[in-house]
Amino acid sequence: MKVVVDEETCIGCGTCVGLCPEVFELGSDGKAYITEDYREDDSFEGEVPEDIECTKQGAENCPVDAISVE
């Protein structure tokens, strides 16, 4: 599945990182990045295997809805 973090919207609360550190990490600018394993063109976009279910939990629990999963 495709995962995109909206860097403008992310406030760096870290909820996604706590719920799904396999997919999300906090970058040096305090924004959520996709981890290197799944990252695509830039740090904010990635392709994640469907069976990593915490991806959706991270997206659903982001307080500002900065993560989209398709």
Q: Does 64 bind ligand F3S (CB under 6 A)?
A: yes
Closest CA to 58 of 8, 22, 7: 22
Of 1, 2, 11, 47, the one binding ligand F3S (CB under 6 A) is 11
Min dist. Cβ of residue 32 to ligand F3S (A): 4
Q: If you write DSSP's letter for every residue of 1-69 in order, what string do you get?
A: -EEEE-TTT-----HHHHH-TTTEEE-TTSSEEE-TTTB-SSTTEEE--TT-THHHHHHHH-TT--EEE
Min dist. Cβ of residue 24 to ligand F3S (A): 6
Min dist. Cβ of residue 61 to ligand F3S (A): 7
Where do contacts with ligand F3S occur on this chain (CB under 6 A)?
5, 10-16, 32, 62, 64, 66-67
